[in-house]
Structure formats: C-alpha cells, structure tokens
C-alpha cells in the first residue's frame, strides 16, 4: 500500500498527514459528487447515507493516523532521551569508577619503596608528626618524633624533587605524640616544641638555626618544663587569653591537666617557663572502649567572636578573663579534636575522633548558646566505630570551597605481634557540601595511620596527606600526593583547625 502525503487547511491551520490510496479514492468520489467544502453546502441538498458513512470513515481514519503519528513521535523522543541518559551514565562510571564527583588521583610515595628517606635506623615506635614550613621557603615541611633509640627528632625538608632528611635532635629522648611550631624567639623562623612520654616529665623547644642547616647537627634544645607529672601528648599555640601574643598550651596526661604558658620575654634564657593549670579532668570515663586519658589540641574561633579558642579532649574552652577558662563539654568521649565551618553558622562545628581508643567519629553542632553544653548535639559520621582513630584533620581536600574531613585508624599499636592488630584499618575522606552533609569515601584499607596530616607537601597548591604510622611496618613514612605534583604555587596551604 502506497502512502501519499496530503495537506489540508482547517481551523487549526495547515496539517499534513499520510493516507492510503484507498482513502484517496473515497475522497475523490466525495469531491466529484460535491466539489465544495462542507461549510458551503447549500441547505436542502442532503448527502446520501452511504457517502456520509464514507466521509465519516475517512475523517475517523485521518484522525487515527494523526494520533498514531503523534504517539510514534513521542516514543521516538522518549527512546532518544533514555538512550542518551544511559550513555552519559555509562561514560561517567567508566571514567570515574570510584568517585564520580571528585576524581582525585592519589599518588602514594613511601620510604618503603625508596621514594623518601627511611625515617629512623632502628626505632619501631614513631610517635609525633608535625607539619610546618621550617625553612621558610613557602612549602610545608614535616617532623617525626621517636622514643626508643636516637635520634629523637627528624625533619623532612622539601627539595626540588623530593625530601631530604635532617636530624633536629640527634640524642635519645622519649618523645610523645604531638608537637607544635611557633617563632618562640621572635627571629622570624618557626621553632619546634615536643613533650616527653610517660617515662619523663619534660617539655622542650628547639631553636631553628635558619639559614644554617646541617643534617648532622642538632638544633639547640631548651627546657619548658622539667618537674611534676610525666607524659605530654599534644600541644598547640594560640592567643587564647587575648594578650596579643600567642601562648603555649600543653597536656600533662599523668597530671590529668592542661597547662598554659606565656612565652617568656627572653625565652632563650628562661628555663623552665612559668605555666598555669587551666583544666583538670579526663575524657572517656564510663564509655566502653574509649581511651581513659584525654588528648587532642586545636585552636579555632568556636563562638564567632573573632578570638581564637582552645579545643582539647571533648571540650572547647571559653576565656573568662585572666588565666580562667570555662570548659564546655560537647561530647562523651575525647580523642582527636578539630573544628571548622562545614556549614554557614556563627558558631563553628566540632569534630571528635576516638584517638587512642574506639568509638564513633562525631560532628557536633550548636543549637543555642555555645557556652551551654546542652546546646551541642553530636552526629555519627561513619555509621561504624573507629578503632584507634588517631588521625583527624580538616581541610578542603578537593578544593571545591567546602571543608572536608580526613579520619583514619591505626592498624597496629603493639610491638610484640608481627601481624597487624587491626588489619582492616581504614582511612576515610568525607567530602563536605558546605551544608553540613558529607559524602564518604575510602582512601585506603589495610594501612596503619597515626597522626596523619593534611598539608600541601609538594608546594603545588593542593592538599596532600602525610602518613606516619606508629608501629605498623615502622620505621616508615608515606606521602599521598593529590593528583601527583603539579607546577609550584607561591604559598603553602594551611589546614583549618590546627
Ligand atoms: Ca619549607
Ligand atoms: Ca625562631
Ligand atoms: Ca571540599
Ligand atoms: Ca600538593
């Protein structure tokens, strides 16, 4: 059956449709009998019934063809849309199989494979890691501390194509986790602070010898504290008292206390420093699996009054005058603590990981007066408890303008066993959307993390990740480079909340 295109004019305008040759013959018959259009039919000349039936039949058939044509066109459009959508979806999955919205290509370098110098000749226990631009070239460097054999402090200084290892402290000291950097003597370079572990009651600072660096010459060491109780896990500098010059806060775990010290006017000739206790207490008591001693230290303006506040354990501290602070407990357990604005709000949000214990990774938000502990509500971010979650950092990892969270577990915390204590140790990146929501992704499973840090370690402007395990495959250090190393950028990135 042939198809002929017929055009007709109606009140809806010109319409084009296809009719069969049989229908065309019928139309011709109609036009022969009565060549004028229906509207001009003179009154008094009725059409024969058989022709009326034929006319109606042709009209119905034409309308049916029009309808079928529209249905066919709609089906064609729908199928084109479905096929296009499927093609886009398949292409996106093939291009970014794990992380469609943030396709960061992480390049891991490790001392195990010779990409960086091995941190230590003997020590199996790597305690602290500190990120700071010690030589002032605009690129963050890092320091690792040890406590079993000398040397006690090692500095990784970034060169043109990698890192060179310098020994800041060649002697044997039992250095605890933590560390802080500040220009203590005011000569323009960052000096370094670390504290002793449970075997010693000392806290020290090392004088940066810029620009005279010798990999084999120790920096001059000064005493900050050499009495009282042992163990000093975590320190931070900040102008918490609003004096205009930052103070040093340090934990003293065996005293279950936090101390605050003004930097003395002549720090090179003042040993030890005067310091004041500003907090007594612990975190985690009564929570199964939680570490029974408090740790963690950070500085951030929590209540949005323009002044930096202290965070430690599971509290933030509101300065109330002089050396007095009101600790505001935001959560049940303590550990690693950080703060930032993961959503727009006058009051910052606080993140706590369990540190040297097990428990949830929680984001605390304030609904009311930030000085009232009852205003703070916590939200579990992972849905599973972290096992020895001793790494917690915040920063904009994918550079989309929204703050992200990096949290990771330890794989090994004992010396005795060859095998990992926690083989499934996981490192998570939680990408924030700027509205308080996070998209969870895993960087790696099966690596041991301890005091991992976010910083632009290669100076190309994006945030990289430092992993310094505690006893997992130690001595060892890994650097995870964000999309490898690109062209050098002018300024080193700082993480937020530290
Ligand atoms: Ca540097
Ligand atoms: Ca200095
Ligand atoms: Ca981000
Ligand atoms: Ca980088």
Please give the model's pTM, rounded to 2 decimal places.
0.79
Residue 38's pLDDT band, with cuts at 50, 70 and 90, is very low
487 C-alpha vs ligand 4 centroid, how far in Å? 10
325-380 pLDDT, tens digit each:
999 999 888 899 999 999 999 999 999 999 989 999 999 999 999 999 999 999 99
pLDDT in the model for residue 292: 62
pLDDT in the model for residue 90: 56
pLDDT in the model for residue 56: 66
Worst-scoring range by mean pLDDT, 279-283, 302-306, 338-342? Answer: 279-283
Residue 52's pLDDT band, with cuts at 50, 70 and 90, is low
Nearest CA to 430 out of 420, 440, 422 is that of: 440
Q: How far apart are CA 266 and CA 20, in angstroms?
A: 106
Given a cut of 50, is residue 495 above it in pLDDT?
no
Given a cut of 70, is residue 18 above it in pLDDT?
no
397 C-alpha vs ligand 4 centroid, how far in Å? 10
Q: Is 78 exposed, middle or buried (0-12, 13-18, 19+ CB in 10 A)?
A: exposed
pLDDT in the model for residue 35: 41
DSSP string spanning 135-195? T-SSS-EEEEEESSSS--EEEEEE-SSSEEEEEEE-S---BPS--EEE-TTSSSS-EEEEE
Q: Which ligand is nearest to the CA of 155?
A: 1
Worst-scoring range by mean pLDDT, 177-191, 360-374, 406-420, 471-485? Answer: 406-420
pLDDT in the model for residue 63: 64
150 C-alpha vs ligand 3 centroid, how far in Å? 40
Specify the higher pLDDT residue, 333 or 312.
312
Q: Which ligand is nearest to the CA of 268?
A: 2
pLDDT in the model for residue 81: 66
Q: Which ligand is nearest to the CA of 459?
A: 4
140 C-alpha vs ligand 4 centroid, how far in Å? 10
Residue 70's contacts (CB-CB under 8 Å, 6 or more residues apart) are: none
């Amino acid at each position: 059956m042939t198809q002929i295109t017929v055009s007709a004019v109606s009140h809806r305008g010109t319409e084009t449709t296809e009719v069969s040759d049989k229908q065309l013959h019928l139309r011709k018959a109609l036009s022969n009998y009565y060549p004028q259009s229906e509207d001009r039919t003179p009154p008094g000349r009725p059409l024969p019934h058989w022709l009326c039936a034929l006319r109606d039949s042709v009209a119905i058939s034409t309308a049916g063809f029009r309808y079928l044509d529209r249905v066919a066109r709609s089906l064609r459009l729908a199928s084109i849309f479905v096929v296009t959508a499927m093609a886009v979806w398949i292409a996106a999955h093939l291009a970014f199989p794990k992380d469609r919205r943030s396709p960061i290509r992480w390049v891991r370098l490790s001392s195990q494979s010779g990409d960086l110098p091995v941190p230590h000749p003997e020590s199996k226990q790597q305690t602290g890691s500190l990120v700071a631009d010690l030589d002032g070239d605009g690129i963050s460097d890092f320091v690792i501390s040890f406590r079993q054999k000398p040397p006690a402090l090692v500095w990784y200084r970034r060169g043109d194509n990698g890192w060179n290892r310098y020994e800041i402290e060649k002697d044997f000291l039992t250095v605890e986790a933590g560390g802080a950097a500040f220009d203590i003597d005011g000569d323009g370079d960052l000096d370094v602070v670390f504290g002793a572990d449970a075997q010693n009651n000392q806290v020290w600072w090392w004088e940066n010898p810029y620009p005279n660096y010798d990999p084999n010459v120790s920096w001059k060491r000064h005493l900050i504290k050499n009495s009282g109780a042992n163990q000093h896990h975590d320190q931070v500098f900040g102008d918490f008292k609003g004096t205009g010059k930052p103070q040093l806060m340090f934990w003293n775990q065996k005293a279950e206390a936090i101390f605050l010290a003004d930097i003395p006017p002549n720090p090179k000739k003042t040993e030890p420093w005067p310091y004041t206790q500003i907090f007594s207490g612990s975190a985690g008591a009564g929570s199964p699996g939680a570490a029974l001693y408090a740790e963690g230290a950070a500085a951030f303006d929590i209540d949005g009054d323009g002044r930096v506040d202290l965070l430690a354990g599971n509290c933030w501290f509101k300065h109330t005058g002089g050396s007095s602070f009101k600790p505001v407990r935001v959560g049940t357990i303590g550990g690693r603590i950080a703060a930032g604005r993961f959503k727009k709000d006058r009051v910052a949000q606080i993140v706590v990981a369990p540190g040297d214990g097990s428990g949830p990774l929680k984001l605390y938000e304030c609904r009311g007066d930030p000085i009232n502990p009852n205003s703070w509500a916590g939200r579990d971010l992972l849905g599973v408890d972290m096992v020895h979650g001793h790494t917690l950092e915040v920063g904009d990892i994918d550079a989309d303008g929204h703050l992200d969270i990096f949290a990771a577990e330890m794989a090994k915390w004992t010396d005795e066993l060859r095998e990992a204590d926690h083989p499934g140790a996981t490192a998570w990146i939680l990408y924030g959307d700027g509205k308080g929501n996070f998209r969870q992704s895993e960087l790696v499973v099966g690596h041991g993390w301890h005091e991992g840090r976010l910083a632009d370690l290669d100076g190309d402007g994006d945030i990289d990740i430092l992993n310094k395990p505690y006893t997992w495959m130690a001595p060892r250090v890994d650097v995870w480079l964000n999309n490898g190393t690109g062209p050098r950028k002018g300024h080193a990135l700082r993480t937020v909340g530290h």
